[in-house]
Amino acid sequence: MKTAMALRHLAFEDLDGIAPILLEAGYTLQYVDTPTATNEDYEQATNVDLLFVLGGPIGVYQTEDYPFLQQVIDVTRHRLESGKATLGICLGAQIMARALGANVYAGVQGKEIGWSALSLNDAGKASPLKVLDSQSQVLHWHGDTFDLPDGATLLASSALYANQAFAYGRHGLALQFHIEVTAPGLERWYVGHVGELGTLSVPHLRAQGQQLAPALQSKLKAVITQWIANVE
């Protein structure tokens, strides 16, 4: 049986639209909530076929406040160095960058929250992200950014932040943006992340999500399916 695990830092930031794709591909799926995870959980995370490291509102550099982050970083580093399939989203991408020795820090452009297009470079156009053309809108929801790690290949940028996605070999894929979200799933975000929104309009974000998230689903499936094909 093929196994997939998601390291989840916040209950409502889950795999969302990725989950049915994994189940359809024949994977069993397990969530581990990192704030209460055990050493046994992290040992299992080291050995599953696919590991997803998900998002959250904390910073990679806050290991003193949130000691579990160091265990997540260590597991991620081990998997990347061992050639094991690992995909990080938002905080998960930042964890991958830190695990590979890069700096992670608050972005000088401020928070990037909302839907906008990516710019893929040549490497991105040859990667699983190739279906995300200039007309594709993805969700950004972050305040931190990272330097590109040594040995990583930049795939995509946005208007505000240059490092939006990178590959590490064929097995590692880091996405600063959110490709996994669905319109119903985002309803939880508007409540759970209300403190991050500031003057942003929830009705406006909701209208964007209702329009753009469904259009993203077929492209999400293409990205995840291609990445799995690369690592199986």
Total-model pTM: 0.96
Instruction: Write the CATH number for 177.
Output: 3.40.50.880
pLDDT in tens, 181-194: 999 999 999 999 99
Residue 199 is predicted with a pLDDT of: 87
CA distances from residue 99 to 16, 74, 109 in whole angstroms, order as listed: 25, 7, 24
Give the pLDDT band of residue 196 (cuts 50, 70, 90).
confident
190: amino acid identity, one letter: Y
| Total domains in the fold of the chain | 1
Whether 225 has a pLDDT exceeding 90, the answer reads yes
pLDDT in tens, 10-48: 999 999 999 999 999 999 999 999 999 999 999 999 999
Q: What is the mean pLDDT of residues 199-228?
A: 95
What is the residue whose two structure tokens read 């040594």?
A: 150
Whether 7 has a pLDDT exceeding 90, the answer reads yes
Average pLDDT, the chain: 96
C-alpha to C-alpha distance for 227 and 171, rounded to whole angstroms: 8
Q: Give me the domain span that covers residue 148.
A: 2-231
Residue-level length of the chain: 232
CA angle 169–114–92, rounded 5-degree value: 30
pLDDT in tens, 115-156: 999 999 999 999 999 999 888 899 999 989 999 999 999 999
Residue 198 is predicted with a pLDDT of: 84
Helix boundaries (H) for the chain: 18-24, 39-47, 68-81, 91-99, 122-125, 183-192, 194-197, 202-231
Q: Report percent pLDDT > 90 for the chain.
A: 91
Residue 85 is predicted with a pLDDT of: 98
CA distances from residue 86 to 181, 186, 187, 196 in whole angstroms, order as listed: 19, 24, 27, 28
C-alpha to C-alpha distance for 4 and 125, rounded to whole angstroms: 26
pLDDT in tens, 74-104: 999 999 999 999 999 999 999 999 999 999 9
